[in-house]
Structure 1
């Protein structure tokens, strides 16, 4: 008796499920068609938008950000259309999304600050990809400006990720923006040195170096007179790409020229007379 009742109940469940599936299948099929066609259309639109921005020579960072934002906005609209076609009430779903967004926003305040900082960097462009900058105690070349962080590479090939929030609110030194850069070099010379001779030697070294720019012109001057040495300030200019090699060469060539002229380049300390 119980066995026949269980079989009958199971058959009724199967029949109800089959009937429900048949009734619901048109919605399911149409929703799946919308989903797959929408994903394909979004891919085509995204590619087309990227090509248009590249053709109009927009900033690469801004182009990537706009394309990614459009991609996720279209995906969200497609998802809402998909669940709406399935018969799910979108008003309640949007309310749930709003509540979840508020909770996530409160828990991710730091990330939202970094997002806002990334937007400011992309819009106002204090630096671009390829620029050498100094910020938050680090110096490096900008590899990529992402939404939440900026990726730098240092001179010793270390990759540094700086959060955009603190980066946009702090002091940024951009060494690449002006195209040329001045080196601030110093030499400590003995008080026995003829200052004019030393300055002529330094100027000759800078004028003979191919990477030292003629305009702006290099300069050399007495920076200070300490208790033990004459401090010369040497200021050659170079293009950003040549800056490091130029500064190193000028120091080396000046040292060799001073040695050849018999000028003491280390701080000269007079011995006190014995009583």
Structure 2
């Protein structure tokens, strides 16, 4: 290799060094300062969310999102300082984001619903809720789903989008819930007498709240019976225990007081057609 080529390459190396060394030094300073500032901002955001009462599940998630965005911005600034052409990168990121969004439409819907639930707080952990025909106690509210423990000790993992699109009954919002117990009596029976029998039987169930007083009334009439409704108030955690005990006490009271109900005796046998 002749001397001219060596001098040419040396000059190119010097030019590159003069061009990039200050930029690399500046990029290092930006990286150090930028990450320090990002960490400080994330800490401020976390404290602000804590003061405003945001969900404990949502606070770290939002803080991490802010941290990722700030650090990503710092890295883009550094790439620009170093002279990188980011046009192609932006196009690739946009295409990737579109593809991921199309593939995860359901998950993104659950994610948005999770943010909505954690922000608006229609219920909280340990609340008794019903979503459509799903009933139980909330044990965890996640970003994508909510875990509900049923009275049968089963965990229901309910997608958050299903919750936001349905009517949610929160039994714990008022601190007490009302049981809906249906009882029947024959038409010939005296309703005031049966009402007194039912009221007395409910007093034997220890976890029924004395106030408000249980409601007992005629619901409607069918072909064989008068249908009654019995509505005692209980604490949410006592829902099933009181339901079982109240039904047991009502049956015992009906038996002791001679209150009859209509039901079929024996087995009816009929012919089978061709």
> Normalising to structure 1: TM-score of the pair?
0.72
How far 1:85 sits from its partner (Å)?
4.8
Q: Is the 8 A contact 1:148 1:164 kept in 2?
A: yes
Q: Which residue of 176, 180, 184 corresponds with 2:172?
A: 176
Tell me whether 1:203 sits opposite 2:195 in the alignment: no
Equivalent residue of 1:88, what SS?
coil
Partner of 1:9: none
Q: Which residue of 141, 145, 155 corresponds with 1:145?
A: 141
How far 1:168 sits from its partner (Å)?
1.6
How far 1:183 sits from its partner (Å)?
0.6
The 3 A distance-change label for structure 1 pair 79 and 159 is farther
Q: Is the 8 A contact 1:135 1:171 kept in 2?
A: yes
Q: Which residue of 84, 106, 113 corresponds with 1:110?
A: 106
* Distance in 2 between residues matched to 1:268 and 1:220, nearest whole Å: 26
The 3 A distance-change label for structure 1 pair 252 and 109 is same
How far 1:32 sits from its partner (Å)?
6.0
**Cα offsets for 1:160-208 (capped at 9, x unmatched):** 3322233322232222223321111123345675543332121123245
Partner of 2:69: 73
Partner of 2:210: 214
How far 1:28 sits from its partner (Å)?
5.6
Equivalent residue of 1:60, what SS?
coil
Q: Is the 8 A contact 1:190 1:268 kept in 2?
A: no
Partner of 1:257: 253
Partner of 1:46: 42
How far 1:38 sits from its partner (Å)?
5.0
How far 1:236 sits from its partner (Å)?
0.6
Partner of 2:130: 134
Q: Which residue of 162, 165, 188 corresponds with 1:166?
A: 162
Answer 1 or 2: which has greater helix percent. Answer: 1
How far 1:22 sits from its partner (Å)?
11
Partner of 2:238: 242
Once the two structures are overlaid, the 10-residue window that deviates more, 107-116 or 188-197, is 188-197
**Cα offsets for 1:203-260 (capped at 9, x unmatched):** 1232454432333321222334444444332111122233332222222222223333
Give structure 2 stretches of 5+ with no counterpart.
2-8, 267-274
Partner of 2:151: 155
The 3 A distance-change label for structure 1 pair 238 and 137 is closer
Q: Is the 8 A contact 1:175 1:181 kept in 2?
A: yes
Partner of 2:5: none
> Normalising to structure 2: TM-score of the pair?
0.72
Tell me whether 1:58 sits opposite 2:84 in the alignment: no
The 3 A distance-change label for structure 1 pair 44 and 194 is same
How many residues are treated as equivalent by the alignment?
Answer: 263
